[in-house]
A = this chain, B = another copy of it.
């Protein structure tokens, strides 16, 4: 077992427990036990509980950002708003796979103690949304004074909330259906009859 393996097992154990009980409510002993390592190993690898959590946030945000960025990039000739759909789907898939991370992200991220992580999330994951929206503005698909910052947050939060709710209350609902509903919402097909009328 490499050091990398150990760290990943600790990440997984920590994120699950923190999703259930919160950061302060999760003991290092419990994390070590679930990861199947000794308590000393946690401190050998991360130095402190805080440092473990900080590394965990970084790790997750980086993976999330990469997932979204990848979805945003292909196919490269697609219109900005088509790429937007792909990013939403990527985000749903990511939180489908790493559900507890979604809860941790929303639950613990806004504390002043982890402001750095918030900044990285903004620059990373939210940045992917914001760049697509900015591209759309430039391509004339959106009007010039559109508030891409707020819209990026809204889209991200929409997918995040739906992911968590689906996981907790409606795990049987197919991801594709959820995605279809969100895409309709975004593209305004929902209010089509109003627009027409």
Contact = CB atoms under 8 A, between A and B. Distances in A.
Interface residues of A, number: 60
Contact of A24 (B25, B162, B186): B25
Interface in A53-106: 79, 81, 103, 106
State the number of copies, please. 2
Nearest to A154: B158
**Most interface-central of A21, A107, A170 (chain B CB within 10 A):** A107
A13 interface: no
A190 B151 contact: yes
28 contacts: A19-B110, A21-B24, A21-B111, A22-B22, A23-B25, A24-B24, A25-B25, A81-B191, A81-B194, A118-B169, A140-B193, A141-B193, A142-B190, A150-B173, A151-B185, A153-B161, A154-B158, A154-B159, A154-B181, A154-B185, A155-B185, A158-B161, A161-B161, A186-B190, A186-B191, A187-B195, A188-B190, A188-B192
